[in-house]
Structure formats: C-alpha cells, structure tokens
Amino acid sequence: MKAHIAVLPGDGIGPEVIAEGVRCLRAIGQRHGHSFTLTELPFGGAAIDLTGNPLPEATLSGCLSAEAVLLGAIGGPKWSAPEAKVRPEQGLLALRRALGVYANLRPVKVHPALLGASTLKSEVLEGVDLIFVRELTGGIYFGEKRRDADSASDLCTYTVAEIERIVRAAARLAEQRRGKLVSIDKSNVLETSRLWRQVTTRVMREEFPQVALEHMLVDAAAMHLIRRPRDFDVLVTENMFGDILTDEASMLAGSLGLLPSASLGDGQRGLYEPIHGSAPDIAGRGIANPYGTLLSVALLLRHSLGLTAEADSLEAAVAQAISAAALTPDIAGDARPVSTREAGEAVLSRL
C-alpha cells in the first residue's frame, strides 16, 4: 500500500526517539512491500523558533493531507516563561482540534521482564493489561480562559454529544477485550461530571448492555490504579483527569518512556505519540527510551493504515528486545543500559 505520514519531531528528545520510529517505518515498508512517504515538518518550540508559530500553516496543511501523523514531544524551559504569549502546547491543542481527534487511547501493559522497574510490588503488577480512553478536544483545556491581576479562571465545558462519542469509542474497545468499562468522573462536586455520569449511563444501557459499567470518582480511581490495577480493563474519562491518571498509570509499566498513544477521530487519520514529554534534561545525550515511540508506530500501522500483521510484528519485536535486556537507563536498573540507537537496533534486528 501507499501512505503519506507527517512526521513532527518536535523538541527535546522528540527528534531522537522519532528517528528510531522512522527507521522502523522504513524497514517495515521495505520488508512488506509498502510505500511510505514520510514528510518531516516543524512543530512546537522548534516551529516557534523558525516561524513564531508552534503550528505553522504549512505544518497543519501537511498533517491534514496525511493518512497519519507521528509526533515526538514538544516544550521545554526555553518556551515556558509565565509571561510567554506563544507556547508549544498551544500548537498541540490546535492540532488535535484541527484533526478532529477526540479519543486518546493509552494502553498500559506490564512486560514480565520489567516487573522490577516499577516501585510497586511484582504481585500487584503481574497481568496488568488496561487501556485508557481520554476525551481529548473538550473540557477545561479548551474552555475560555481569563486572567487579571487578582484572579484567573479556566472554564470546563462538555456537551452531551462530546460525551456520547467518547463513551461509544471506549465501549467498542471494551467489547473487543474483557467487556468491562470504568467511567471516571467527579460527580459529587462538578456539574460537568454529573452530566458525564448521566450520559454515560444512558449510552451504555441503551447501546452496550453486554458491557459491564462501573462509575468511579477520580480520587478513588487514582488510588485503585495503584492498589488493584489488574482489575481494570477499559477506563474512560474527561480530558484533564485522563491526562493526570495516564501519567500515574505509566508507572505501572515502569517508565513514561514505554507507553504509546493514539489519538483518533471518526475517520482513519490519527495522531500518534509517546506519552512522555520532551525531557530537556536528557536531550542530546542519546539515552532516551524509544519504545513508547515504536509502540506508537505500531498503533499507527494498526489504526490508520489497517496493517494489523505489521503492527503485531513491531509490538512483538519491542517485547523481544526488552526480554533480551536492551534497556535504556530509565528501565535498566542494575543492568548495563543501552542507548536510544541501540534500543532501536535491537527492535530492527527482531522485526
């Protein structure tokens, strides 16, 4: 098949991990007879430096014309001053909205070889295999923002239609897995959460009666993710809760660097990125973990290009590389760590 993929390396360690993702995409294309056109475009802080805009028109146009978008990471101290009028994160929010990607999928699966990489006990982590579905284009991140000398406010708004579509996306995933959905809110305090719970209950009762639904307050969910993570299957929640809880859940796997994400809408095009940030403290040192990016490439192959066998082979190659102790410093423990490039090589050799 032929496919156009927009590549946004971004800032910090973004270009380093994206380089390994690009190498894997090219290798898979060559070995399976696919023609992938990869177009690198400036985004985030790097784009601010070039154009003054974190999402230049040419970058947005390139993303809208692509079958998929692969993103590294954005941001850093250089662009994060409180008084800054233009920030890399503004570009990310604008890109998500322009692409219409409202469902952010974040799978968390604990590799047996990395049970010791987490601070939790091994017996708590064995068998953990869950997936978060985070609403991505609504809520407090996109609401009206005001600030004056004495106060500031951020408006959190959700519509019935926004809640319905994200719940349906999560329920369809639950149907394909263990048939369990946990909806996370703060309905004892927030009016948006009361609407969320009401709409979720109706959609699940009317459209997905075969999926077991449990409602959970966000503070209880934060606790139970650490106390009994194996009990969870699919979790759905609003934008800010999802942002926070998925970073917490990453520690189940042992490192932020291990986890991928797929941001999807109603069509085939998606935005794929590791969940970690730009990590400016280690940028340029060649020690960033590329596995979250490589697993994001696997999600890209599966969800946007429909290449299930190729996605499976890449996920298997990452798992085998980890089993063979090709571990970057964030997960190496007492073992000899490998570089970003060496980790990529370990995966390429096993494809």
The reply to whether 243 belongs to the active site is: yes
266 is known as an active-site residue = no
In this structure, which amino acid lies at residue 138?
A: G
Which one of the listed residues 243, 272, 291, 330 is annotated catalytic? 243
Whether 186 is a known active-site residue: answer: yes
The CA distance from 343 to 166, in Å, is 35
Active-site option among 11, 102, 141, 158: 141
Q: Is 330 a catalytic residue?
A: no
Catalytic residue among 186, 272, 291, 330: 186
Q: Of the residues 219, 231, 281, 312, which is catalytic?
A: 219
Tokens of 125: 């982590």
Task: Calculate the alpha carbon distances from 49 to 32, 79, 115 in Å.
Answer: 38, 9, 41
Counting Cα atoms < 13 Å in the Cβ hemisphere of 205 gives: 6
Nearest alpha carbon to residue 261 among 278, 279, 242:
242
DSSP 306-334: --HHHHHHHHHHHHHHHHTT---HHHHTT
- How far is Cα 74 from Cα 346, in angstroms, rounded to an integer? 26
Active site residues: 141, 186, 219, 243, 247
